[in-house]
Structure 1
Amino acid sequence: MELLQLQYFIAVARLEHMTEAAHSLHVTQSSLSKTIQRLEEDLGVPLFDRTGRKLRLNESGSIFLPRAEKALFELEQGRQELRDLSSLEPGTLKLAVTTASTLPNLLREFRKKLPAIHFHVQMLSMPEMITLLNRGEVDFCLASPPVRGEQIECRIVCMDPIFVAVPAGHRFAKRSSLSLIELKDEWFVGVKKGYGIRDTIDAVCQTAGFTPCYVYEGDEPARLIALVEAEVGLAFIPGTAKSPQDQILLIPVRDHDLVREIALLWHKDRYISQAGQVFREVVTEYFAPDSN
């Protein structure tokens, strides 16, 4: 059994399509197909049910996939640890976030300490983020709400109050606080379902007796403030998301404790590089009560 066979098998298993897997691996479809066939011959069982170019893991493939992923995961951990010890290359810190309001400042502070380290950030829904974390494809996640699991280390770093964002000319603009039920007939702009703050808000509103009417649902939280300024709708905005330049007002909700917990997540079994340790320290220090 060869390492390349495992890499190709995992790619095909995740995409369940030979052409798409070949494209993602930058190999020809015929080469990929032959490699998978050799792996099946080595194992003595087929791993997929085939219908044209479409493949679906069979029972044997489903049993073998987590073992193959774990084997490659461990090899990647060893490679990263050796690279870290030798310091032959700067490396890349890979992050996934469901909340990005604090990210610019965090990355600025991190870059001050390690300017040579590259980083790559993805804005994802919660299920997508946890999938990549469990696969070892990201080093850390900033998530709201927190996620706890057998393989996930979860550290709450911030309690971020959530406000109702209204434009300057709105009838609520001069209010010092609002009752949640007063918002039942308003139009809202928000992120799509699957993002932590959206799910939290929808659940709280349902306890108050209504479902928010969304006229806009997107995957770019930063766009919401501009939509509120344009009087498209109101929004539930965390306190960390507003900047002094924004032409909106944030009004607290008095009858519900609207707060989101921001957590830093990492894989318990994943090797944490020196750069990763520095990033974790930066996040902890940034959110420390006496740091702001």
Structure 2
Amino acid sequence: MELLQLQYFLAVARLEHMTEAARSLHVTQSSLSKTIQRLEEDLGVPLFDRTGRKLRLNVFGSRFLRRAERALFELEQGKQEISDLSSPEHGTIELAVTTASTLPNILREFRKKWPHIQFHVQMLTTQEMITLLHRGEVDFCLSSPPIQGEDIECQIVFIDPIIVSVPKGHRLANRSSVSLKDLKDEWFVGAKRGYRGRDLVDSACKSAGFVPKYVYEGNETARLRDLVEAGIGIAFTPFSAMNSREHIHYLQIEEHELGIEIALFWHKDRYISRAAMEFRKVVVEYFRSLSSGNQSKD
């Protein structure tokens, strides 16, 4: 059994299509097909049920997939460990996030200490994060809500309070706080349904006796700020995404303590380089300073 066979098998198992797998591996379909056939001959059983070019893992393939993923995971960790030992000042940290609003400040702080470390950041759904964690393809995930799992370490780094942002000149812009009931006639811009913050504030507004009216729904933090500033609508905003723009005013919410748990998590068995461990410290310190800043405003 060869390493190349395992790599090809994983690609076919994940895509369940020979042509697409060959394209992703940059090899010919015939070469890929022959490699999978040799692997099946070595194992003595078929690994896929075939319907034309479409393949589906059978019971043998499903069992073997878990072992193959584990084997390649361990080899990748060994490769990373050797790279870290030979060149600790260089390398790349793989990150996955559900929101990028806090990343610029975090990366800026990290770069002061490790200027030669590069980053590759992906914005993903929670399920996509879990998949990459199990494959060993990311160092850390920064997400809300936290993710649980036997092979996942999770550290809650911040309870992010939700505040209200309004444009300067708005009827509420001269206040420091507002009750949810005072917002029932407002138009909102906000995240789409299914995002943790959106579901949280919709539920709170419902308990206050109204359903928020949204004129815009999206997940781009910068776009939401632009729309608030333009007077298109007001927004429920995480404290961590607050921006000291001249034309936006922020208010605390009275009577309701709305907050989102932000967590940093990683695979328990993934090798953590010295640079990655330093990055984890920077993340924790950054959110600790945010928490202190928020408490000083209370």
Asked if the contact 1:49–1:55 (Cα under 8 Å) also holds between the matched residues in 2, the reply is yes
Match of 1:87 in 2: 87
Match of 1:227 in 2: 227
Match of 1:3 in 2: 3
Q: 1:155 Cα deviation (Å)? A: 1.3
Residues 38 and 247 (structure 1 numbering): CA distance in 2 closer, same or farther, change over 3 Å? farther
Match of 2:296 in 1: none
**Structure 2 alignment gaps of length 5 or more:** 294-298
Q: Distance in 2 between matches of 1:40 and 1:206?
A: 57
Residues 204 and 186 (structure 1 numbering): CA distance in 2 closer, same or farther, change over 3 Å? same
Q: 1:13 Cα deviation (Å)? A: 1.6
Query: Are 2:169 and 1:169 aligned?
Result: yes
Asked if the contact 2:17–2:54 (Cα under 8 Å) also holds between the matched residues in 1, the reply is yes
Deviations 1:162-219 (A, max 9, x none): 1112222333333332222443443322233444323433443444454433333324
Q: 1:86 Cα deviation (Å)? A: 1.6
Moved more, 234-243 or 268-277: 234-243
Q: Distance in 1 between matches of 2:273 and 2:116?
A: 14
Match of 1:188 in 2: 188
Deviations 1:8-39 (A, max 9, x none): 11112222222222222121222222212222
Q: 1:288 Cα deviation (Å)? A: 2.9
Residues 2 and 89 (structure 1 numbering): CA distance in 2 closer, same or farther, change over 3 Å? farther
Q: How does 1:222-261 map to 2 (within 5 A)?
A: 222-245=222-245, 247-261=247-261
Q: 1:57 Cα deviation (Å)? A: 2.1
**Structure 1 alignment gaps of length 5 or more:** none
Q: 1:76 Cα deviation (Å)? A: 0.6
Q: Distance in 2 between matches of 1:211 and 1:20?
A: 45
Q: Distance in 1 between matches of 2:135 and 2:204?
A: 32
- Counterpart of 1:215, as a letter, is V
Q: Distance in 2 between matches of 1:77 and 1:37?
A: 28
Q: Distance in 2 between matches of 1:66 and 1:201?
A: 40
Q: Distance in 2 between matches of 1:64 and 1:207?
A: 50
Deviations 1:143-172 (A, max 9, x none): 122222211111122222111122223333
Task: Report the TM-score when normalising by structure 1.
Answer: 0.90
Deviations 1:64-92 (A, max 9, x none): 22221111111111111111112288221
Q: Distance in 2 between matches of 1:172 and 1:8?
A: 60
Match of 1:197 in 2: 197
| Identity between Structure 1 and Structure 2 (%) | 71
Residues 137 and 184 (structure 1 numbering): CA distance in 2 closer, same or farther, change over 3 Å? farther
Q: How does 1:1-292 map to 2 (within 5 A)?
A: 1-87=1-87, 90-245=90-245, 247-289=247-289
Q: Output the aligned Cα RMSD.
A: 2.3
Residues 169 and 188 (structure 1 numbering): CA distance in 2 closer, same or farther, change over 3 Å? same
Give 4+ residue runs of structure 1 displaced > 6 Å after superposition. Answer: none
Q: Distance in 2 between matches of 1:236 and 1:225?
A: 10
Moved more, 75-84 or 151-160: 151-160
